[in-house]
Chains A and B, each alone.
Chain A
Amino acid sequence: MTNLDSLRITERDLDEITGLDIGAVNMGWAYRQAAFAPAARLSFLGEQLLTLCVASIFCLPVTLLLARSVSGNNAAAVWRWLPFGVVGAIALTLFWALYRWRAGKRLITLSHLLDDIDRFNEMVAAVEILEELGAAKNSRLNLENRDEVIEALHLTRESLICGLMTEKVMRKHQQFISRKQEMFSSIEKNLAMLQRIQVGDEASEYSRLLNEAIQIGTSVHKELSGY
């Protein structure tokens, strides 16, 4: 049985390849598109609330201390300045969210590639589960196409890594076109090979994974061709 751990693209791999701090909803300080997905809305709002709390911690006391200093220690004037502190905290929160959103827009290709990588890692996990189930007695799961799926996963991984590297090269050195072309041709080659793999039984789990691999490969190709 093949150890599939080596196939997984870990967060550390992503950090090293992209040169950014990659998380489930962030790329460095920038937001990934996943942060705005309907299912992540609650988490997003929670984060904004936390940011507002931290902003208040900085803005309110500083504003009020300034008010005290300017007004010559007048307590009534300090109270009058309170709304300015609140507005400052809200403005800081909005500015920070806007900055992260705009930074995310600039990294839209990377964001899509990272979504593909998430899907890929989930695929690897699914194959692992299928293998464990297949190894169990009385399992009636279809084990056909297994080698093809592993091959497809290898090709997809290679394409994704190539995609990330191309994106980084393009992001950092816009004029460094030759390297981009070299990597892009590798992605095209992998995708062509993926499409050549015959998908026999459409209903089996492995065929489903194979199709997913082809979809990811297509997505990577599409993202990079738009650069």
Chain B
Amino acid sequence: MKRLHKTLICALLFFGTSCSKFLDRESQAILTDDQIYSDLNMVNSLLANFYGRIMWGQNITDSYSYTLLDEAGVSSGGPNNLQNYDDAQWRVYDYTLIRNLNQFLAGIRSEQAASFDPNTRNTLEGEARFIRAWTYFNMCRSLGGMPIVGDEVFEYQSGTDVTTMQFPRSTEAGLYDYIIEECTQIATMLPDDPGTNTNAARANKWAALTLKARAALYAASIAKYNYKTPDVRTAGNEVGIPAERASEYYQIAYDAAQEIIVGGRYRLHDANADKGRNFYEAICEKGSPEVIWAKDYIYPGQTHGFTNNNIASSVRGDIDANIMTPILNLVEAFEYVNDRNGTLKTTNASGEYIYYDNPEDLFKDKDPRLYGTVIYSGADFRGMTITYQAGVKYLENGRWETITASPGASNAAYGGVITSIDGPTTNSDQYVNKTGFNVRKFIDENRDASTRGRGSDMWFVRMRYAEVLMIAAEAALELGRPQSEVAGYINQIRGRAGIQELTQISLQDIIQERRVEFAFEDHRWWDLKRLRVAHEIWNGDANNYAATHYALFPYRIYAPGNPNHGKWVFDKQRASHSLYPRNFRYQNYYSFIDQGWINSNPKMVRNPYQ
């Protein structure tokens, strides 16, 4: 009995004490707002998360994105049968990110962050607002005007009237105005010394101004040129900007570009006498004095597979290569140093082959930027010469006949290598070149970067000084400023590139210059869209050179005794693995509004043609 008593008391004590606060513990995995916003390391890692969520459009983490336009084609595996651009092409709709950024802004502005000095707080707020402006900008250029939700962080609780959270779409001009206004303020909040910005990975004053200039230029050119597509508009101007606002926007773009130029913090990289090499270094070497904002990578931890995917076969470090390879159209878009027509001279006037002693002779006197952008036959990479050879041509009954083989195969009866290990071929093997070129821009020269396991830490340049000059040139041209001034900006770029300067500039020259200068940098699609020429250039006609992918197939001549023995000839031919011409329909000027978004927000109107 006494024992029972004792047991009872023990049990009572046990129940009386053991459960205290058991369900009331603080989580070890969830950090509270005041833990985050009082600690600079926490805040920085939150900001890093935002920087990591804004990779959209054509970029180096998506090699296939480069095969959609007129820069490159698919080269690995079977043919690509893209016929139309997707109705959701590169559209951005990320209100989750915008809400997260607004939460961040609320945290930074609250008492919890009071321990930071005002300067730091200001910078953090500016960066978050820059990322938000960049997000809106990416939405605007793909979808037109979208709802502007301001700084408010919306919370839903059971019973909340959701209609108060449903915002109608802004006008297209209204959203560009918002981005421009935000960037104007952000520029005053962010540091202006690029020296403290490791690898240009964080936004500073100049990135904000570049975004401002770019947004204003986009708005201006849409205002000026949307008369060419009168049906690409909505009744409420969610898509379409009135023509009378064009000069106002051009002036904003011009002034913002001038501010960066006068600011003098950036300059075109021009340190290497080898102009082709210099252009590669300007974009692909971290620390380049012209890069304003980039997505940076670092090994170990943050790497990507662009080098691994797209390197030439003979220098690859792993099995992968040639996922996408540049096409002849891009190569011919590069001018000659003294000739504006960049067409490669493979045949003479009467249609007969021109025989070249060395494969690289075909590319003699091309714009040196071609070397920095594309690996062509006879060019070097990492100290090795890359030679593309589709086959051997030999004489039979006085006519040139062709023999090809699998990549790397040789035959002594035809004097050695028949088809180079680097291709090109027309078969559907994986990782084999199909166009006769490889990309050099954004390809890492570090040997190990081309392996799957390591990856590359090459950055992706989003904004650089050359773009500022191009914006200044285009805005100056459209504002009717003197040709000498317009040409002055472009000639800085052309002079650095190492090609002849111009005296008369037209809009066509600007489109051309942007195409070659910014190849693979996610400009081409948006440029052709905002200037309303995409449907003319990519018109879906298989006989239109501009809309169709072409390849360059080099052949070695094997004809002992013939004066042309051992020389090289080149065939231009339709790229075997891009089956259809590029077809840009009017509806592609703005991606479609997803039906799901309309379901949850009925105030959202559809885009044209939708």
The answer to whether A binds B is no
Interface of A toward B, CB cutoff 8 Å: none
